[in-house]
Amino acid sequence: MRPSWKDSSALVVAEATRAVEAIAPGEAERLLSATTAASRVFILGQGRSGIALRALAMRLMHLGLRVHVVGDATAPAIAAGDLLLIASGSGRTPSVLTAARSAIAAGAEVAVITAAPHSPLASLTPTVLVVPAAAKRDRSGQASAQYAGSLFEQVLWLLGDGLFHALWQRSGLTADELWARHSNLE
């Protein structure tokens, strides 16, 4: 029998729920602390990971944080006191590794969200949040039945919204105060 859309969606939700519940709370708290302590937050991810992090960048901007997406023409130079927040499932993407090393050389802090805790990227910083998801080429079906890095990217999006919500609740800002920063050029 072919699985229905509903069956497939239930699988996606169940896998994402298990993965979110397995994230170490201390890792998430370190990421929250690094974000609030930073003068500016720079966001970097490639592919679908980058798309998920851009959503977080928008929400952090709504909170009033100074946020820049690496690669945008308006992104300034990173410096001491800044945070480079990187998402990379594999922790091996060459351009991401280069950017992380450049940020460290500039005196910035680096925080990593990855599915690979022993990767070259994770070894560069103590601020690592591990998402228990399959690597892109893992076809075993043990960590996820989904294609490629889908589970990592889904959890990254949910994690971003969870981090934003925690920061918002801690900020004491109202929804109307955040809305004042929402784009009015749409």
- The catalytic residues are 153
Token pair recorded at residue 24: 């170490």
In terms of C-beta distances under 8 Å and separation of at least 24 residues, what long-range contacts does 130-135 make, across chains too? 130/23, 130/24, 130/27, 131/19, 131/23, 131/89, 131/155, 131/156, 131/159, 132/18, 132/19, 132/22, 132/23, 133/19, 133/89, 135/89, 135/90
Q: Are the C-beta atoms of 19 and 89 separated by less than 8 Å?
A: no
What does the angle CA 152 – CA 154 – CA 155 come to, to the nearest 5 degrees?
A: 65
Q: Alpha-carbon dihedral of residues 67, 99, 127, 41, nearest 10 degrees?
A: -10
Q: How far apart are CA 26 and CA 90, in angstroms?
A: 21
